[in-house]
Structure 1
Amino acid sequence: MAESTTFDRICDIIRENGGAGDVELTLDTKLADAGLDSLSTVEAVIACEDEFGIEIETEQNPATVGEFVELVESLMEK
């Protein structure tokens, strides 16, 4: 089985926290359109921290799935 990409893993987390199972997620999808309100965005951030072993600063607020992926990947490189 092929290893999941960062994008795929983040999409899974967004779906689990936002309940947007039927929305096709792309890099341009706004987190609000994926069903994430402010609380579920925080929950998704915490889930990503656990999943990827990173720490996301509270002032970093990605607006789209692509920004979320870029943020996580940049923190994984450190």
Structure 2
Amino acid sequence: MLNSVLDKTTLVEARLAALGADGSGLVSKARSLDVPLDSRLVSDIRELSSQRADALDDVELDMPAFEQLTDSIVQGS
């Protein structure tokens, strides 16, 4: 599970970086963009960051919901 979580969040970070984002985490990258992201997308990125932290702390995630969230973010960014 953890590898999948890290792979998906790395993909989101890469998409943000491709848009010109700079920073050390998902939220900081999202906030660094010259053009502000839609508030819903930023909210989803915050949720994704929280879920990644939970996974690192060995909290069980609802993986189908996690994957749906990451897919939604990638499509929206």
Which of the pair is proportionally richer in helix? 2
TM-score normalised by the chain length of structure 1: 0.39
TM-score normalised by the chain length of structure 2: 0.39
